[in-house]
Amino acid sequence: MVIRGLWVCKIRLVKHFGLTPVLCLLVFSCLFAGLFIDYIESWVTSLRMNGVGGTHGGILPQSVPPTRPEEYLLMPSPLVCQRAKPYLITLVTSAPANTKARQAIRDTWGGEVHVRGYRVMTLFMLGQASDPVLTKQLADEAREHADLVQGRFLDSYANLTLKTLSMLAWARRFCPEARFLAKVDDDVMFNPSALLQYINLNWGAEERELDELYFGRVHLRVEPDHNPTSKHYFSKDAFAGTVFPDYCSGTAYVLSRPAVLKLSLAAAAAPLPKPLPPEDVFVGLCAHTAGITPTHSPLFSGGPPVPYSRCCYQAMVSVHHTQHEEMLQYWADMHSKPPCSWVGVRTSLGVCKLRALLGDLWPGL
Ligand SMILES: *[C@@H]1O[C@H](CO)[C@@H](O)[C@H](O)[C@H]1NC(C)=O
């Protein structure tokens, strides 16, 4: 309908003004849209969100929850946050064996303590390793860097939700002073500076007590997977609705302090179905229970890999699927030259978002 309307309108314009001016207008509009691609994405996503109170049920009590992983085998001093007073704490979910990824993060964005005049801190969340050699190595790593938080549960993909529970409980108990908590996977190129800029731009006014914010890349209207052999299996008894409440992709999302408090309480009270729900779905369900709606941010990368370009990466808050070698390389390049100009960032963001999109539609492009 809309397209036909546009088409008719275009033909009329061509008749009236001739072809060249109309083509120019079209090209100009596309370029202009490219410059503001992130705003357009935000707007389109907000139109498609299913909102609180849609047609979905909550998690039903089903099985005895496994031991709550709210004890910590390794962690920095309990006073770490009282001393450092971070404005932003980033908790990186990492697997015990990913030593290189953790080191790359420490050597790049995770090593920063002051960003844009704010104190920031990065710690790693882990579970227990089944291998005793690895267990010993983790203890050494914790002693050397004092940045590991290890919960009392076996670290496995199926147990990721326990890691999140453990993380939320830790943050509530040991780091209530942080105004923002970012949860990031260890294969994500994260950009605290871009995040703080994004926060200031959208919610500004530092002194005001914040609302309950839960933002990242929002997944819309995801249907539960009832195939028992699937990695993301969700039993029909555990979730009665047809679509999950909209939730932020688990690769990277951010919570404001009030949201951490509410969400961690809701999560601690939620019954845990077996097998455990995917981590991000679980957080979305708890947020829904707590009455917190997610906010979509186009600066968090989603499925399609975002091709590296300096100005684009300066603007993006998170880019998924970044290997540790790439992380070191990109970080060095991003900081080798002065920051990109406004036009540089806008153009580069438009181009890299478009390339990611096209690459997703036609793999191999
Ligand atoms: C999850 O962690 C619990 C507690 O350590 C453990 O008993 C269980 O085997 C783990 N589950 C999986 C699937 O790894």
Q: Looking at ligand 1, which atom is closest to the CA of residue 159?
A: 1
pLDDT tens track for 31-70: 877 788 888 888 888 787 765 444 444 443 333 334 454 5
* Lowest-pLDDT choice from 23-37, 153-167, 306-320: 23-37
Q: Give 232's pLDDT tier (boundaries 50, 70, 90).
A: confident
Burial environment of residue 192 by CB neighbours within 10 A (0 to 12, 13 to 18, 19 or more): buried
What per-residue confidence (pLDDT) applies to 363? 64
CA–CA separation, 362 and 365 (whole Å): 6
* Mean pLDDT over the full length of the chain: 87
* Angle between helices 257-269 and 279-290 in degrees, nearest 10: 100
**Residue 77 Cβ < 6 Å to ligand 1:** no
User: Of the candidates 165, 173, 175, which has an alpha carbon nearest to the alpha carbon of residue 286?
Assistant: 165
Domains of the chain: 69-296 (3.90.550)
- Please, are residues 89 and 175 in contact by the beta-carbon 8 Å criterion? yes
Ligand 1, residues 73, 154, 155: which to mutate, most atoms within 8 A of Cβ?
Answer: 154
Residue 11 has pLDDT above 80, yes or no: no
What per-residue confidence (pLDDT) applies to 75? 94
Strand partners, 181: 89, 255
How far apart are the CA of 308 and the centre of ligand 1, in A? 37
Higher-pLDDT residue of 231 and 184 is 184
What per-residue confidence (pLDDT) applies to 62? 35
How far apart are the CA of 154 and the centre of ligand 1, in A? 5
- Average pLDDT of the segment spanning 324-332: 96
Higher-pLDDT residue of 75 and 271 is 75
Return the SS3 of 201: helix
**Residue 158 Cβ < 6 Å to ligand 1:** yes
How far apart are the CA of 79 and the centre of ligand 1, in A? 29
How far apart are the CA of 285 and the centre of ligand 1, in A? 22
Q: What is the DSSP letter of 341?
A: P
Q: What is the 3-state secondary structure (H, E, C) of 37-84?
A: HHHHHHHHHHHHCCCCCCCCCCECCCCCCCCCCCCEEECCCCCHHHHH
What per-residue confidence (pLDDT) applies to 55? 40
User: Of the candidates 57, 60, 63, 55, which has an alpha carbon nearest to the alpha carbon of residue 238?
Assistant: 60
User: Of the candidates 209, 219, 224, 221, which has an alpha carbon nearest to the alpha carbon of residue 295?
Assistant: 219
**Residue 66 Cβ < 6 Å to ligand 1:** yes
How far apart are the two ends of the chain, measured CA to CA in Å? 31
What per-residue confidence (pLDDT) applies to 217? 95
Q: Where are the alpha helices (DSSP H) in the chain?
A: 2-17, 19-35, 37-48, 80-84, 99-107, 132-145, 160-174, 192-203, 257-269, 279-290, 310-315, 324-334, 342-361
pTM: 0.87
pLDDT tens track for 85-131: 999 999 999 999 999 999 999 999 999 999 999 999 999 999 999 99
What per-residue confidence (pLDDT) applies to 72? 92
Q: Give 8's pLDDT tier (boundaries 50, 70, 90).
A: low
How far apart are the CA of 159 and the centre of ligand 1, in A? 6
**Residue 289 Cβ < 6 Å to ligand 1:** no
Q: Give 254's pLDDT tier (boundaries 50, 70, 90).
A: very high
pLDDT tens track for 128-167: 999 999 999 999 999 999 999 999 999 999 999 999 999 9
What per-residue confidence (pLDDT) applies to 23? 82
Higher-pLDDT residue of 318 and 225 is 318
* Angle between helices 2-17 and 19-35 in degrees, nearest 10: 130
pLDDT tens track for 169-216: 999 999 999 999 999 999 999 999 999 999 999 987 665 667 899 999
What per-residue confidence (pLDDT) applies to 58? 47
Q: What is the DSSP letter of 292?
A: -
Ligand 1, residues 159, 165, 231: which to mutate, most atoms within 8 A of Cβ?
Answer: 159
